[in-house]
Each structure stands twice: as structure tokens, then as C-alpha cells.
Homo-oligomer: A and B are copies of this chain.
């Protein structure tokens, strides 16, 4: 049996994968910069205490915890005989892999506050880690591309991020995408108007399961936590209501009278009015079943899904008002969004949206004729590389056919041969691997023929 040495959901990327990812990243970065964001890069490992308490109960289970180093048991006082896994973890782990880039950003801000000019627009692109059950579109190590603006409560920031999302999707030629928008205050208003034995975080986590388990099962869950039948019916109606934004708003407001609810709708109305004027290409839709799993959102929330595909959102985000409080800084409101690079790549692959593949190739490969002429080849290789060409020599003086076969598979453009004859004449045999032609020329002639004008340093 073949041993599996790799971990599922924790991927490697080949050169070809990297070309695709770089294509997507170059578009995302271009728009991030056009919208005024500057890059930062935060630590991949956080203090355990920075992460716990930010992601809700379900999220915390997915945090990868790192063992303390050395003889950690000698430093704990816990009674190993009657300890639970959770208690033990708290004692023997003090670090964890970051779960997202947002909490690290809040920490970064708290530590660099004095150097930062508010409002601050930062982007960060990097891997995050979740101990989830791997499946298509759900990895345990994946790359997020985040843009956040902190230091202002203005709803124009939401407008800017939605416009940014539209620009990126349009550049990637991703049609049939929907930006779903809602506001935590609406969900909060609904929650406050209900009688149920759950706290808001638990209620919101339950609503967040709509996509996965369906409306009926969500209602069953709510019933089981004491929601009266009449209210279950109302919830069912709200979350299955079809209609325009105005219809939805009117329906909900006619059933509940709550300050938060009104505030949530006011915020969404402003955002919609601004966005209408921008005539974005992506479809935007009010969806108050949208809950977002993360605990830290307090206002607008949004998510981007493909209407042709059901493996989950490729982008999500929202407004947070208390995120930096954990790091002893109050009254900093921010709003952020995050693209999932890995899911974007799946979508582009499925819709065949990657530009024609450019096979990775090499400009020149020197044939190895043995020690006598290797030094001369090395001399020319050095010159060619300085001119910006990519060059290698076959490392062993094996039969020429074997070397040529390697060059073929490797995608080499020109093969250069310097055998005894060529060395004597101070010439090079240059074989064009595309059309098969071959000529005997001087190194100076080769250089003149090179089209490296733009590569010269």
C-alpha cells in the first residue's frame, strides 16, 4: 500500500498552480492599490488568548493550537488524572495558528497605533488555518486576500468595499455572481423581538446554518430552544420571503417594532442608494438570512456567491465596532472584506477563465559533452544569464539523445552544443527546439539574435 505523506486539505502548489494563483493575485492587488490600500503582513502564529473569544463556539473548535516547547508538563500544576482535553489544551498550549487575518490586523493596529494615520486602509494576503473537515472548496490551509478600513463609522466605507469587490469580479470576468448584503442589526432586532432561550451569538450561528441544513431544520432547532410556534412561523415567512428590497423591508418592519431593526434598514438603504448610482456589474441582493459565522461583526455584513455553484462564498466581510477592544483600544470602527483565493481559482478553472496557459520554459540548455568543454559552456552560461536569459546545463555527460529528450520535456527554446569541434572553431551549435533548425554561429552572433532588449538589467 502506498503511504500517504501529506495532510488532506493542506495543499501543495505546482509551478502551473502558482501561475494561475499569481494571475488572480495580480488582479486583486491592482484593485486593492487603486482603492488606496497599503500592504501589511502579520505573524502566522498568534498568542492563543488573542484568538479565543473572537470566532464563536463553533469557530473556536477549528483553531489549530500549538504545543508549548520543552518539558511543558513539568511547568503545569493541573491534575492529569481528571482533566478534559480542553482544560489540558489551555495548560500546554499558549500559541495558535491564525484563523483569519482580521484579528491579527486588530492586534497589529493596537501595537502600531502611533504610526498610523486614520482612517487606515490596509490589505493583507496570506494563509490562514482552520481545523475543518476538508472537502471541495474547504481547505485546512487556505489563502485570504483582505482589505479593511478602520477609523470611521461612515457607510461610504461599505460602499467602497462593495465597489472594490465588483471591480475585482469584473476584471476576473466572473459573471453570475451575487453580492448578498444584510446587517447584523436587523438580525439583532429580530432576535430581540423573539422569546427564545439562546444568546445572540447562538441564534446567529443557528441562522448561519440555513445554507447547509435548510430552513425547516433551522426552524426545528429554534423550536427546540423554546421559540413559540407563532414566532417560528414568522421566522419561516421572513426567511423565505421573495421580493424587492422595499417589499422585504416593509414586510419585516410591519411585523416587528424594534429600534435596532430600523437602524439596520436605514444603513442598508443608504448603501443601496449610493451603490445604485455606481451602476456596478455584479448583482446585489438583500438577504437577511445572511448571518456570517464570525462573532465580531456588528453592522453591515456581506458575502459573495456564485449563482452557478454551491461550494460556499468566495468573499465575505462586514462592519465591526469592538474588534480592537480585546487589544485595549476602544471606539475604533472598521469594515473589511476577504476574498478566498483558493475558491476563486476553483471557479475560474470551472468557467475556463484563466488566460491561455503559458508553459514554463527555459531559454537555453547547454548539452554536456564532458569535462573538457564544460568550463567553456559555463563561461557562456554566465554571460547569457547576465543578459537576463534563463539557462541551465545538463548536469551529466550522458548520451546526447537523453539530454535532448530532457530538453524537449522541459520546454527548452534553444539547445546549445559546444563539443570539441565547436570549441576549436570558437563557435556554438544552436538548435532551435521549436522548428528543429540548427546553425553554427559565434557567441556574438547569438547575442545579436537574442531578443532580450526588455530583459537587460
Contact = CB atoms under 8 A, between A and B. Distances in A.
Contacts of A45: 7, 10, 64, 97, 129, 140-141
Interface residues of A, number: 109
Interface string A97-138: 100000010011011100101110110000101010000000
Given A81-B80, A277-B379, A43 B6 contact: yes
Nearest to A82: B80
A83 interface: yes
Given A6-B107, A61-B69, A12 B38 contact: no
Contacts of A77: none
A119 B395 contact: yes
A15 B44 contact: no
Interface string A1-19: 0010111001111110110
Contacts of A112: 12, 14
A203 B193 CA distance: 73
A67 interface: yes
Contacts of A92: 67, 88
A148 to B, nearest CB: 13
Given A117-B410, A362-B36, A141 B278 contact: no
A385 interface: yes
Contacts of A396: 152-154
B46 A67 contact: no
A100 to B, nearest CB: 15
Contacts of A88: 73, 92
A443 B277 CA distance: 18
A446 interface: no
A160 interface: yes
A441 interface: no
B385 A34 contact: yes
Nearest to A385: B34
Contact of A38 (B33, B83, B360, B375): B360
Contacts of A108: 12
Interface string A56-81: 00000110111101111110000011
A69 B59 CA distance: 12
Contact of A328 (B3, B61, B81): B3
Contacts of A111: 5-6, 12
A446 to B, nearest CB: 16
Contacts of A202: none
A156 interface: yes
Nearest to A63: B69
Given A73-B88, A374-B156, A13 B41 contact: yes
Interface stretch (A216-224, A238-246, A251-259, A386-394): A386-394
Interface of A: 3, 5-7, 10-15, 17-18, 30-31, 33-36, 38-47, 50, 61-62, 64-67, 69-74, 80-81, 83-85, 88-89, 92-93, 95, 97, 104, 107-108, 110-112, 115, 117-119, 121-122, 127, 129, 131, 140-141, 149, 152-154, 156-157, 159-160, 163, 167, 171, 274, 277-278, 327-328, 360, 362, 365, 368, 374-375, 378-379, 382, 385-386, 388-396, 406, 409-410, 457
28 contacts: A5-B107, A5-B110, A7-B43, A10-B43, A15-B38, A15-B122, A31-B385, A34-B385, A34-B388, A35-B390, A36-B365, A36-B392, A45-B64, A62-B69, A66-B66, A67-B89, A71-B85, A73-B83, A80-B80, A117-B409, A117-B410, A119-B395, A156-B374, A156-B393, A167-B385, A277-B375, A278-B378, A278-B379
Given A12-B108, A119-B394, A163-B382, 10 more contacts: A5-B111, A6-B111, A10-B43, A10-B45, A30-B457, A35-B385, A61-B69, A64-B95, A154-B396, A167-B386
Would you list the 5 A-B pairs with minimal beta carbon distance, nearest first? A154-B395, A36-B392, A80-B80, A152-B395, A15-B38
